[in-house]
């Protein structure tokens, strides 16, 4: 197995899917010969030709709308939105058209498409290149929302998303693109959607997280271990549909829960996880559920390091619920 970065794993996932299935194609702004702003599609145009990996005009609604039409007519498009912050002109296409097509057609049509987009902070991208909008889309039945946190999962989840019969929003934590490496098998493999990843088993406090927050939580857990607090880390990775049974089992395991994400706190994804636990297994809880999140403000450029959860804030939450 190769030891590669997360962005390289995305590239390998696309290449593997395109080699196996000639109906898979990639497109978006600068996706073609340049390979995208992060080089996720590097060399795919030269390998597969401009009919299968190509540039589009700067029009997010046009990119997604075209993908919907392609998907309904026998292709498996992988559309890239250059930054998740730019996805909102295509919001109606995603939530009103792609996500609803199977239902409104009584199953006559499906929309097997993937929308890839880098999200989140950590690269000093400022206000319009750092947002985490996953909660908007997790409110949409008919859509799947996937966020990998390791190179292995990035490739396996991406291939599974491309093969899925329904539309998938594949959100890539750009802070991890080149900051982590991991072992990734060659060739085709998939990671099942709607499954959790047990990052670290522990008996004292369960921390649910995803994306770029996973290594932050791992760092906090190491310090907690020095204080004799055994942290159970769970990577949610598929936010919609969520493995609800798995979440509840992990919550019951320790009776103490912390939820971490970098999106704003109010109506953030952690709110749903917290409510799910409270509604179903409250009798197992030994402490109030704690959330560690971004703040309810626009994403600040110069104060990025204060806005994004860090290992210190996560450790404080772990200690608080442990000592309750």
Span 64-111, pLDDT tens digits: 999 999 999 999 999 999 999 999 999 999 999 999 999 999 999 999
* Mean per-residue pLDDT of the chain: 97
Q: Which of these is catalytic: 129, 152, 250, 261?
A: 129
pLDDT interval class at 22 (50, 70, 90): very high
Calculate mean pLDDT across residues 26-41. 97
Residue 242 above 90 pLDDT?
yes
* Residue-wise pLDDT tens digits, 245-302: 999 999 999 999 999 999 999 999 999 999 999 999 999 999 999 999 999 999 998 8
pTM: 0.97
Contact 173, 38 (CB under 8 A): no
Q: Options 3.30.70.20, 3.40.50.920, 3.40.640.10, 3.30.360.10; which CATH number does 197-323 get?
A: 3.40.50.920
Backbone angles phi, psi at 320, to 5 degrees: -65, -45
Q: Is residue 152 among the annotated active site residues? A: no
Residue 275 has a CB neighbour count (10 Å cut-off) of: 11
Q: Which tokens in the block code for residue 222?
A: 């190491």
**Rounded distance, CA 109 to CA 298, Å?**
39
Domain 2-184: CATH class, spelled out? alpha beta
Residue 1 has pLDDT above 90, yes or no: no
What is the per-residue pLDDT across 209-235, written as a single tens digit (0 to 9) for each?
999 999 999 999 999 999 999 999 999
DSSP state of 94: I
Q: According to the model, what pLDDT value does residue 93 have?
A: 97
What the block records as the tokens of 297 is 């403000």
CA 234 from centroid of its chain's CA atoms: 14
In the three-class reduction of DSSP (H, G, I as helix; E, B as strand; rest coil), residue 151 is classed as: helix
Task: Give the residue extent of every domain in the chain.
Answer: 2-184, 197-323
> What percentage of the chain carries pLDDT values higher than 70?
100
Helix ranges (DSSP H) in 43-179: 44-48, 60-71, 91-92, 101-104, 134-138, 151-163
The DSSP 8-state label assigned to residue 215 in this structure reads: H
pLDDT tens profile 58-75: 999 999 999 999 999 999
Percent of the chain past pLDDT 90, that is, above it, reads: 98
């Amino acid at each position: 197995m190769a030891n590669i970065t997360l962005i390289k794993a995305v590239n390998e996932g696309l290449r593997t899917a395109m080699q196996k299935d000639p109906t898979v194609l990639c497109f978006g702004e600068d996706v073609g010969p340049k390979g995208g702003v992060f080089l996720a599609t590097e060399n795919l145009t030269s390998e597969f030709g401009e009919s299968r990996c190509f540039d589009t005009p700067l029009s997010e609604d046009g990119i997604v709308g075209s993908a919907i039409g392609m998907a309904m007519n026998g292709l498996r498009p992988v559309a890239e939105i250059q930054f998740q912050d730019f996805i909102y002109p295509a919001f109606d296409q995603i939530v009103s058209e792609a996500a609803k097509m199977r239902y409104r057609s009584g199953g006559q049509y499906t929309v097997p498409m993937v929308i890839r987009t880098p999200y989140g902070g950590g690269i000093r991208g400022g206000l319009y290149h750092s947002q985490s909008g996953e909660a908007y889309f997790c409110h949409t039945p008919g859509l799947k929302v996937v966020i990998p946190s390791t190179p292995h999962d990035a490739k396996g989840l991406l291939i599974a998303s491309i093969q899925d019969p329904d539309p998938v929003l594949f959100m890539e934590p750009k802070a991890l693109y080149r900051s982590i490496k991991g072992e990734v098998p060659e060739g085709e493999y998939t990671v099942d959607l709607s499954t959790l990843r047990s990052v670290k088993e522990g008996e004292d406090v369960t921390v649910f997280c995803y994306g770029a927050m996973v290594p932050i939580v791992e760092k906090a857990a190491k310090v907690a271990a020095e204080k004799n607090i055994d942290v159970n880390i769970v990577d949610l990775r598929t936010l919609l549909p969520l493995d609800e049974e798995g979440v509840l089992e992990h919550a019951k395991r320790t009776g103490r829960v912390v939820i971490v994400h970098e999106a704003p706190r109010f109506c953030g994804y952690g709110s749903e996880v917290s409510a799910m636990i409270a509604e179903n297994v409250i009798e197992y809880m030994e402490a109030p559920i704690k959330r560690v999140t971004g703040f309810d403000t626009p994403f600040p450029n110069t104060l990025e390091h204060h806005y994004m959860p860090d290992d210190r804030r996560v450790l404080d939450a772990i200690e608080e619920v442990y000592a309750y």
